[in-house]
């Protein structure tokens, strides 16, 4: 798999426009707290317009992940994003985990059962501590990336804990990020082009427990040796890219001032 010729991956610019949703998802404790609510409103009211202007200056497109609650509260912000030619990604409605929603969580399990998966084989962990979340990967052999919106942090967490991820290529940036991550750490054969290939990859590797055990032991070191997983190299390259963007921006602004 390659992007734009010989490139194995591309840089994806994406932004979460959560606004008040993660705060309100925890209850009304801060709903009437002006400082907290104002802080959270900064993103859609000030941050997004600034980002849109910067992206326009560099003729770049990005993906903005917007919860439904944010879209309801700030429709003008979503309209500005779309008008700029950017992608809007679904980011749940209000950051509440579906397995913590009672009847909604039961409905989620029912959908798996309807597909022939025994209910006793389904475990919904719900909200856990960070440490318990990572420890849970010890009970997982293969992770299945979601689509059309791929995982990001969750994909890296799985890989770093030695659990390979099956990914499927989509059309937009948010639906190709998972495949890009998986391929960048040397697991290109875990990336599917379509639904049938996705299922086949999962089936093939699920029947190879010895290989999965080997990956669990070797994958963290493999990631550390990859271009995407070498934190020092990745950070230096990212810093260099930011500096280059800033120098180009300043140079363009200077030329504009001189012309005026």
Domains in the chain, please, with CATH? 13-96 (3.20.20.370), 97-127 (no CATH), 128-229 (3.40.50.2000)
Q: pTM (2 decimals)?
A: 0.61
pLDDT tens digits, 103-154: 666 777 888 899 999 988 888 877 777 888 899 999 999 999 998 888 888 8
Q: CA 71, CA 65: separation in Å to the nearest integer?
A: 10
Which residue stretches of the chain have pLDDT < 70?
1-10, 97-105, 257-260
pLDDT tens digits, 51-66: 999 999 999 999 999 9
The DSSP-derived string for 52-90 is: HHHHHHTT---EEEE-HHHHHH-HHHHHHHHHTT-EEEE
Q: Report which DSSP code applies to 147.
A: S
Radius of gyration, alpha carbons of the chain: 21
Q: What is the pLDDT of residue 30?
A: 76
């Amino acid at each position: 798999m390659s992007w734009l010729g010989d490139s194995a991956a591309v840089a994806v610019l994406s932004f979460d426009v959560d606004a008040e949703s993660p705060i309100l998802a925890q209850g009304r404790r801060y709903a009437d707290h002006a400082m907290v609510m104002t802080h959270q409103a900064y993103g859609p009211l000030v941050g997004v317009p600034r980002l849109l202007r910067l992206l326009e200056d560099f003729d770049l497109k990005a993906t903005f992940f917007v919860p439904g609650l944010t879209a309801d509260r700030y429709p003008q912000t979503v309209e500005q994003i779309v008008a700029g030619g950017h992608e809007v990604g679904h980011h749940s409605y209000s950051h509440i985990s579906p397995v913590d929603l009672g009847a909604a969580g039961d409905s989620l399990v029912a959908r798996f059962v309807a597909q022939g998966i025994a209910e006793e084989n389904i475990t919904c962990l719900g909200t856990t501590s960070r440490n318990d979340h990572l420890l849970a990967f010890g009970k997982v052999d293969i992770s299945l990336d979601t689509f059309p919106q791929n995982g990001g942090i969750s994909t890296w967490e799985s890989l770093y804990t030695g659990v390979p991820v099956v990914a499927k290529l989509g059309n937009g940036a948010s639906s190709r990020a998972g495949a890009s991550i998986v391929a960048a750490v040397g697991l290109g054969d875990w990336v599917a082009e379509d639904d049938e290939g996705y299922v086949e990859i999962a089936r093939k590797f699920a029947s190879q427990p010895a290989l999965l055990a080997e990956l669990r032991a070797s994958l963290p070191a493999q990631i550390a040796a990859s271009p995407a997983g070498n934190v020092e190299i990745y950070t230096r390259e990212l810093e260099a890219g930011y500096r280059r963007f800033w120098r180009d921006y300043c140079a363009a602004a200077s030329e504009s001032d001189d012309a005026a």
